[in-house]
Amino acid sequence: MRSFAAVGGEPPLIARAKGSKITDVDDNTYIDYVGSYGPSILGHAPEPVVTAINKAARHGASYGAPTESETKLAEAVTAALPSIEKIRFVSSGTEAAMSAVRLARGATGRAKVVKCIGGYHGHADAMLVSAGSGATTLGVPSCPGIPVGAAADTILTPYNDLAAMQEVFGESGETIAAVLVEPVAANMGVVPPAEGYLAGLRNVCDAHGAMLIFDEVITGFRLSYGGAQSLYGVRPDVTILGKIIGGGMPIGAFGGAAGIMSRLAPEGEVYQAGTLSGNPVTMAAGLATLQALQAEGFYESLEERSAALGLGLEAAAREADLADKVCINRVGSMLSCFFAPPPVTDYAGATVANTKAYATYFHAMLDAGIYLAPSQFEAMFVSAAHSDDDITQTASASAKALRAAARLMA
């Protein structure tokens, strides 16, 4: 994700960050919409979080033992997400997804897992699979070093295609342990769920005795305090979390109903462990962040700022005569500017995007002091630290950058 291979050139080396800005080693400052790929919902280095980290670190970075702060963060998360009665902290989103899949397989006694084409759930072997043709495809490895057998029990379906999911279950339902899905796709660019899609997944899993796993590593505590599951009113069996709940420190977590989570060792037979899981520095950062998110009007203010940016980007596309060739997708404080005809509703629609035009746009924005992800298929993240001036400056820069990219869109 840090590579500029998709857009060309050398990435700036970041020296420091504060609020909505990052500064490189050459003292160039940029308005940042990467936000560490999502965790920096408060902006960079917010004082309450920095204070909590410093205080915790003075008492030791890791004990390999339970702490009071781990219990407090667990209580905060379970209070926010009613689908989670018990939670297990780990050190990354990849580890959380891998562990959640293992738990689902252990609890159901089944092997197969369904994921969506273009959905990213970390870099565990079984999740790094590519899409084939047709509505449903058995996974094949998409990265060297992954044995064919590691992906053999992963089934792919298109995101937002409930009929394809129903077809998969009609053929293999008795062998499927779980459906693993981002409730709002954010790794093919931002793509919202179609009306009824998430509820349909819940119904099909219930009908066949499979678990529904929501990967809310990105959406958790970003779209609302209760995550995407609260926003859309669909309750998963297991939720995967990360990013924001660590306040910028490395973290992952997975949780669900007590009966499901009790299958984990040492209480149950499904093994999972991690030396640095629940370390006190990360727990302190996460607690301070979640406390800040509970401030009155926090999400309403973030929505207003994000909506203003979305409208500004749409106006910039119209100004560049690209309204029919550029698609702005937004869900809350997550946005994507696809260089593809609207609407973009799935991976197939996202991948027709003109990546050369995006590269031109990206570099024009970087030159204007706006830092975006160096990939067409990553999200923009708005934080509480972004000001009205930041939004105005970004929209203005976008109009000029889109005009520069327009010649590649003819």
The one catalytic residue in 215, 237, 346, 390 is 215
Residue 151's nearest CA partner among 121, 171, 174 is 121
d(CA 356, CA 222): 30
- What count of Cα atoms within 13 Å lies in the side-chain half-sphere of residue 172? 21
d(CA 106, CA 108): 6
Is 37 noted as a catalytic residue in this protein? no
Q: In what order do the strands lie in the sheet with 29-32?
A: 14-18, 21-24, 29-32, 370-371
- Residue 17 main-chain phi, psi, to 5 deg: -150, 150
Residue 115's nearest CA partner among 194, 212, 227 is 212
Is 243 noted as a catalytic residue in this protein? yes
Q: Which two tokens stand for residue 127?
A: 């999740």
The one catalytic residue in 30, 243, 347, 361 is 243
The one catalytic residue in 30, 33, 112, 120 is 120
d(CA 237, CA 192): 21
d(CA 296, CA 293): 8
Residue by residue, DSSP assigns 229-282 as: HHHHT---SEEEEEGGGGTTSS-EEEEE-HHHHTTBTTTSSB----TTTT-HHH
- The DSSP bridge pattern shows strands 238-242 and 211-215 to be parallel
Q: Confirm if 334 and 222 have CB atoms less than 8 A apart.
A: yes
Residue 372's nearest CA partner among 404, 393, 394 is 394
Packing angle of the helix pair 280-293, 68-80 (nearest 10 deg):
40
Is 161 noted as a catalytic residue in this protein? no
Q: Confirm if 32 and 21 have CB atoms less than 8 A apart.
A: yes
- The DSSP bridge pattern shows strands 140-141 and 129-130 to be antiparallel
- The DSSP bridge pattern shows strands 176-181 and 327-331 to be unpaired
d(CA 48, CA 42): 10
Active site residues: 120, 215, 243
